[in-house]
Amino acid sequence: MYLDALVWFLFEVIVTQLNLFSMKSIRLGLKLCIVILTLSFTSYAQVGIGTTTPDASAVLELNATNKGFLPPRMTAYPSSPAIGLTIYRTDLNGYYTWNGTAWTQNVFGTSSSTLASATITASTYTLTPSDNIINLSTLSSQTLTLPSASTATGKVFWIVNTSTTTKNISSYINLNNSSTTKISAQSSIAIVSDGTNWKQFEGSESDNSGGAQVVNHAVKTMYNDQYHTPWQAPWGVLSLTELNIDVPAGKALHAEYILYGQTTDANIPPTWFKFSGPTFATDYFWAQLSFKNATSYDTGEEIIQFNSYNNENNGTVLASQVDTEFPTANAVHPMLLKVNYRNKGTSTVTFNVSFAGDRSGITVSSLGILAYSNVIYSIY
């Protein structure tokens, strides 16, 4: 309203100054009004479609109750893109954004239910652009073939191997920056094409359940009860190899374990709890073990802090006696273990957790860590 009045006022001033209402003066006045209107829109630089009051924080606001936003759709990337340019690749079934170096698929924050998930039961399978989450079967031998990285820039695959055997795949660059053609048993990877190679996400892997799409953690689960019989100190060693974690050189590990303990005898003597793999004399390491008896927390040793200064440290093994005090034979007793570790070495370290016997020499029929004990972890 005010803008219209201003335009007409200026128009009258212009015509009065010219002292005529000739066609020439009218044309000049109209041109000046158009310039003024253009400057006004340029100054405010806000556009609303479907609304007359676009939000003050938006340069463009679209408003509709029965229509959506349809971005540019194409089957090839445009040349000389601006950083932040977003398109929809119909052949790759996804949104892609140019980050200044590569086209990346916009899937973060997307519900996993919108992504295609498939279980592969054949011994060989070639991945296609429409694939997203791939669950491998229990076949003893399976081989995946990746499409050429040069034709799938920005494409992401999540591959989950819950079987107990290693599977084969076309070459990709792993987190240790090495080329590999294997997917380890009971593990998962997330890989993306940079236009030249397929690369595993840095600190970003799939959940072993296959239910997530891109997450910054991985999950490993024990599928078998692990017992040591007889449990006689100090010789018994119960190593939880199903939960081993490979930590590349220079990387950090954050892990949380849920361990379900069980003994065939109540009130066993203190048990040695051990970490192995890292060079504890030089690497950064901290851990905390919490555990519970049948009814409540006791005082004393149920929460134990581990580091290289207050636990037994021989350089490659860090250990402490854990007074598990399982009060009921054959009952299940949960334990929570938190770990923070930095690999300062020059090669990959396999991080391992194990239990060993008591130094008192007392014999216990057996000590076990049960199936479905698990670890959720991040490498960054």
119-150 pLDDT, tens digit per residue, is: 888 899 999 887 888 888 888 899 999 999 88
Read off the DSSP letter of residue 270. Answer: P
Per-residue pLDDT tens over the stretch 19-40: 555 556 556 556 655 655 554 4
**pLDDT at residue 4, rounded to an integer:** 53
Q: List Cβ neighbours of 225 (8 Å cut-off, separation of 6 or more).
A: 368, 369, 370, 371
Q: What distance in Å separates the CA atoms of residue 182 and residue 159, rounded to the nearest whole number?
A: 11
pTM of the model: 0.45
Centroid of chain to Cα 368:
31
Task: Report the alpha-carbon distance of residue 356 to residue 350 in Å, rounded.
Answer: 19
Task: Please state the separation of Cα 254 from the chain's center in Å.
Answer: 13
Distance, first Cα to last Cα, the chain: 58
pLDDT tens digits for range 176-220 = 778 899 998 877 788 888 788 898 865 444 444 433 333 346 778
Quick one: pLDDT at residue 113?
38
Q: How far is CA 176 from CA 173, 206, 297, 364, 380, in A?
A: 8, 17, 41, 42, 11
More confident residue, 294 or 279: 279
3-state SS assignment for residue 353 = strand
- How many percent of the chain have pLDDT more than 70? 67
Neighbouring C-beta atoms of residue 165, cutoff 10 Å: 15
**Residues with Cβ < 8 Å from 351, sequence gap 6 or more?**
244, 245, 246, 247, 253, 255, 275, 277, 278, 339, 341
- Strand partners of residue 352: 276
Q: Are 119 and 159 in contact (CB under 8 A)?
A: no
Q: At what angle do helices 23-44 and 2-18 cross, to 10 degrees?
A: 150
**Could you tell me which residues come within 8 angstroms of residue 252 by beta carbon, excluding any fewer than 6 positions away?**
284, 340, 341, 342, 343, 379, 380
* Number of other residues whose CB lies within 10 A of the CB of residue 279: 14
In this prediction, residue 208 carries a pLDDT of: 41
Residue 85 has pLDDT above 90, yes or no: no
How many Å is the Cα radius of gyration of the chain?
32
pLDDT level of residue 43 (50, 70, 90 thresholds): very low
Predicted local confidence at residue 350, as pLDDT: 92
Structure tokens at 62: 């679209």
pLDDT at 167: 92
Tell me: pLDDT of 296 over 60: no
Mean pLDDT of 1-26: 55
At 47 the pLDDT is 82
Q: Across residues 263-275, what is the average pLDDT?
A: 74
β-strands 237-239, 349-356: how paired? antiparallel
pLDDT at 236: 64
pLDDT at position 101 is 60
What are the tokens at 36?
């003024």
Mean pLDDT value across the chain: 74
pLDDT tens digits, 316-367: 888 777 765 566 777 777 788 889 998 988 888 999 998 876 655 566 667 7
Query: Which structure tokens are listed for 171?
Result: 């070459």
Inter-CA distances, 182 with 124, 173, 189, Å? 14, 11, 10
State the Cα–Cα distance between residues 361 and 234, nearest whole angstrom: 7
Q: 150 phi and psi, to 5 degrees? A: -70, -20
What pLDDT band is residue 10 in, cutting at 50, 70 and 90? low
Look at the chain and count its residues.
380
- Residue 243 Ramachandran class (φ > 0 left, ψ -120 to 50 alpha, else beta): alpha
Quote the CA–CA distance of 246 and 345 in Å, as a whole number: 13
- Rounded to whole angstroms, the maximal C-alpha distance in the chain is 116
